[in-house]
Amino acid sequence: MSLPWPRVPSLRARLTLIATAAAALVLIPVAIIADIVLRHGIADRIWDDSLSTASRIAAEVQVGRLPDPLPTSGNGIDLIEVVTSDGRIMAASAPARELRRLSPLRPAPHTRVSRATSCSLPHGECLYVTAVKVSPEPDSAVVYAGRATPAVLGTRLPELGLLLACLLLCGGVASIAWLVAGRALRPVEAIRSELGEVAPSNPGCRVPEPPGDDEIARLARTANDALSRLERSIQQQRQFAADASHELRTPIAGIRAQLECARLHPEDTEEAVEAALRDTGRLEAIVTDLLLLARLGTAPPTVREFLDLGELLTAEIRSRPDRVPTHLQAAPGVTVKGLRPQLSRVVTNLLDNAERHAATRVHAEVGRVRDETGEHAVLSVFNDGEPIPQGDCDRIFERFYRRDTARSRTHGGTGLGLAIAREVVESHGGTIHVECEDAGVRFVVRLPLSPDPAAETAPDPAPEAAPDPASGAAYGAAVSDSASR
């Protein structure tokens, strides 16, 4: 049986541990180096003081002044002896008289100064001692000067002090890291709290966005973008359910009524079946439109392609039955990036709406326009029908909104055409609006212009086949003549 893993601490605790460990990794080597430097510094100071004292006593011996006991200079060097070449002590300081000999060390013939550490003192203490010859002769007397090992060098007090300092510093770093991490992670905790309240009944909540452009601010913006998409998805589901319950009941009730009528009156079966088929067709159209609205925005961006908006409009007009004269003017090379089925549905819906409300003609146009936000492709569809009241200009894009219910249902409208057009255009980063004129109504769609890279890198045509730069209007007029009905 495998052992359980220890509980992983919070991010705040982990950051604190990391900061404390980093501080320890820095402070421990610094403490070791400081201990070594401290010990060497104290030892060097003792050696320097003992050499200075021994040299002073040797100078006094050379001039014949040899007081007994030998005086100390107050620098801590209190053990002083003057010893002849045969080992006889000529003079000593008062503390040194209690000792037999400071050291058996004698400088080599070619040197005058030697240093040694002796641990022959009582109680096991060690001695730092410097030996200086009075004169260069081989039988010269030798001055010994030194002192017992200081307590700071003979014990572990420096190490204990440095260890305590390291612990205090590490504790301080841990406290600061804990406070700083808590303050830095406070927005994350706020984001977590807000995300914990997200529910289907409350999809509109948003996390607080801290100022700046650091990782937490970008996380908050990304979370809000995700919440916006989630809210939109929930709203689409609710809208689908509301639309289905609102609009599907009428054709279903009609089909049921027709079938019951056929059962009660067999002689009217054929008429009832025809009416049921009409309601079934309408029901199928509504379901198809509702499913399209529910699927909008779910396709990945990689499936989009470059489309010539003028060619799309031309193909749609040429494939339509001859019901209302339609005039077309399409500038060449107006390319957008999107989903062909959806943009074709926008063109179809706008033309269907224009034909239903036109009095005598429909005019469709594709062109370009440039503003402060960039260059856009523009699709406009005009009909010379009755103008729309100003109060209805925004409502006509709502689902199942009809200004003339009887007329819309007679012509097969589901009430979702303009709503689908708006949803598709907005999912492609564009806008759609209606302009009411004295002579009719114009629907205007603006989409981001996206030149086709393949068309830009294609080789130039032969000079004899190159079109006239001023032929754009002629092209539009030619298409208009061929598409007019």
Tens-digit pLDDT string for the chain (485 aa): 445 545 656 888 888 899 999 999 999 999 999 988 988 898 889 889 989 988 888 888 888 888 878 888 778 888 888 888 888 888 888 888 777 777 777 888 788 888 888 776 555 677 888 999 888 888 888 999 888 888 777 777 888 888 899 999 999 999 999 999 888 888 888 888 877 777 776 767 777 777 877 787 888 888 888 888 788 777 767 776 776 666 677 778 888 888 888 888 887 788 888 888 888 887 787 777 777 776 776 666 667 889 999 999 999 888 888 778 889 988 888 999 988 888 998 998 899 888 888 888 899 999 998 887 788 999 999 998 888 877 677 778 777 766 554 444 445 466 777 888 888 898 888 999 888 877 789 999 999 988 766 555 445 544 443 333 333 333 343 333 334 33
Q: Which fold has domain 12-154?
A: Beta-Lactamase (3.30.450)
Whole-number Å distance between alpha carbons of 485 and 481: 9
From residue 133, alpha-carbon distances to 107, 108, 180, 351 in Å are 7, 10, 64, 120
DSSP state of 96: G
pLDDT of residue 29: 92
pLDDT of residue 199: 73
pLDDT of residue 64: 80
Q: What are 118's strand-pairing partners?
A: 127
Hey, where are the domains in the chain?
A: 12-154, 298-455+467-483
Q: pLDDT, tens digit, for every residue of 89-102? A: 888 888 887 777 77
Domain range 298-455+467-483, CATH class? alpha beta
Q: DSSP secondary structure string, 240-307?
A: HHHHHHHHSHHHHHHHHHHHHHHHH-GGGHHHHHHHHHHHHHHHHHHHHHHHHHHHTT-S-GGG-EEE
